[in-house]
Amino acid sequence: MTDTATLTSVSEPNEHGYRSFQLGGFTFDRDEHFVHIEWPTGRHVTPVEDFLKALMRDIAWNFFYGTVNFDSVIGTVNHYGNVDLFAGRFNDAYRKAELDHMENFDHDVIMGAFKDMLSDWTNDGFDPFAAPQETGSPYGVKHGDNEAAITRTRVTAQRMVGLPGDEKIRTDETHPINRMFADVDQSEPTIEVEPGYENDVASFNLFAYLSRSDVTWNPSIVSVCKESLYCPTTEEFILPIIHGNDRVEWFLQLSDEITWRVEDRETGAPRATVVMKAGDVAAMPADIRHQGYSSKRSMLLVWENGSAELPDLIATGQAPTVPVTW
């Protein structure tokens, strides 16, 4: 891995209308169908739809917890202030062939480059946050943009959604009910508050809130108990990235069903398939990576421990990779 790289550049539009980007030793080009990535020891090609969906999550999640694999070759590792960009680092064949490559960037440098790339390469009508049946095509020569779709911010409640001054509940005016959640009960809890306790007596319909989500695979914080974060999300089709954990992560399936393919975090070797139905709870250990498949739009409660100390504790063996033993 090289030291922190700062070299970034942007080209004039190519014959397809898209700019090319350089990040240290990496170059990123797109044409009508594909993204082409080159680094000093190799090259990679991937469909532009898959790449933009992954890029959207990496940006929206601020590089998330641990590793965001765009696919089996390309991805990022979050060090919370700086970020590794890699090719083949978590691919056993690339590692053995010594074709893998990784460079470290200041957070703001790589975030800025990624945002510019997403902005330039997202055409009018394509929403990389949306389910496949709810968006237009990303393909073809450059035509317009979709800044409104790609600049939506992730919900991050400070205490709980619905409290005065915190994130607001969703309504018909702001978030129509999704087509796959038209049957979800929208009734709100009955709340009686004594004078003076308006900031402390609070409740909201989480299922109704989720039924109105206009994005998929985008965990957003709705309640906070110190470093314990409820990050529910609505899922349809395939998680556009393969998430490599740097800490234990928990899933509670609130509705419907998701199948998770679980692989070894370092090599990508298959480890298990986890099928989760409503009410099921499962941990994702800190040494795996996972990708979810949801046939019908479903509600998933992602539960995170946001402690900044956890990655080092686990990496140094001071904390286990599994949450519980018996």
Partner 1 sequence: MSDTAPQYTTVFASLENFEKGGVDVINDDPKNYVFSNVFEVASHAKPYEKIAVAKNMQYVLEAIRAEGTSEWRATPHDEFALVLDGEVTIELFDPDETLVDPEASGSVAVDGDPAGKPMGQVVAGQGHMTMLPAGRCYRFTSDRPSVILLQTIDGPDTQHRWADICLS
Subset of 252-311 contacting partner 1 (CB under 8 A): 252-257, 262, 269-285, 296-297, 299, 303-305, 307, 310
Among 226, 308, 316, 317, binds partner 1 (CB under 8 A): 226
Whether the CB-CB separation of 76 and 82 falls below 8 Å is answered with: no
Residue 83 contacts partner 1 per CB under 8 A: no
Q: Site size for partner 1, by CB under 8 A?
A: 79
Judged by CB under 8 A, the stretch of 31-39, 51-59, 97-105, 206-214 that binds partner 1 is 206-214
Instruction: Provide the mask over 143-172, with x wherever binding to partner 1 is found by CB under 8 A and - wherever it is not.
Output: ----------------xxx-x---------
Cα–Cα distance for residue pair 24/41, rounded to 1 Å: 13
> Which of residues 3 and 185 has its CB atom nearest to partner 1 in the complex?
185
Q: Closest approach of Cβ 179 to partner 1, in Å?
A: 7
> Which of residues 125 and 306 has its CB atom nearest to partner 1 in the complex?
306
Residue 316 contacts partner 1 per CB under 8 A: no
Of 253, 251, 260, give the one whose Cα is nearest residue 291.
260
Q: What angle do CA 304, 261, 231 make, to 5 degrees?
A: 20
Among 99, 111, 224, 238, binds partner 1 (CB under 8 A): 224
> Which of residues 23 and 276 has its CB atom nearest to partner 1 in the complex?
276
Residue 242 contacts partner 1 per CB under 8 A: no
> What beta strand segments (E) does 40-160 contain?
42-47, 67-69, 74-78, 82-87, 101-106
Neighbouring CB atoms inside 10 A of 189's CB total 9
Among 200, 312, 315, 318, binds partner 1 (CB under 8 A): 200
User: Starting from the edge strand earliest in sequence, which strands make up the sheet with 8-10, in order?
Assistant: 8-10, 21-23, 26-30, 34-39, 42-47
CA distances from 64 to 56, 170, 171, 235 (A): 12, 24, 28, 17
> Which of residues 135 and 205 has its CB atom nearest to partner 1 in the complex?
205
Among 12, 172, 173, 185, binds partner 1 (CB under 8 A): 185
Can you tell me which residue has the tokens 């609505």? Answer: 234
Which residues have CB under 8 Å from 48's CB, separation 6+?
30, 33, 34, 35, 121, 138, 139
Cα–Cα distance for residue pair 215/239, rounded to 1 Å: 12
3-state secondary structure labels for all residues of 16-28: CCCCCEEECCEEE
Cα–Cα distance for residue pair 15/5, rounded to 1 Å: 29
Residue 253 β-bridge partners: 300
Residue 238 contacts partner 1 per CB under 8 A: no
Among 34, 139, 207, 293, binds partner 1 (CB under 8 A): 207
Gyration radius of the chain over CA positions: 20
Judged by CB under 8 A, the stretch of 39-47, 51-59, 80-88, 207-215 that binds partner 1 is 207-215
Q: Closest approach of Cβ 162 to partner 1, in Å?
A: 9
> Which of residues 239 and 310 has its CB atom nearest to partner 1 in the complex?
310
Among 98, 165, 182, 308, binds partner 1 (CB under 8 A): 182
Q: Closest approach of Cβ 16 to partner 1, in Å?
A: 34
Give the single-character DSSP code of 252.
Answer: E
Q: Closest approach of Cβ 33 to partner 1, in Å?
A: 28
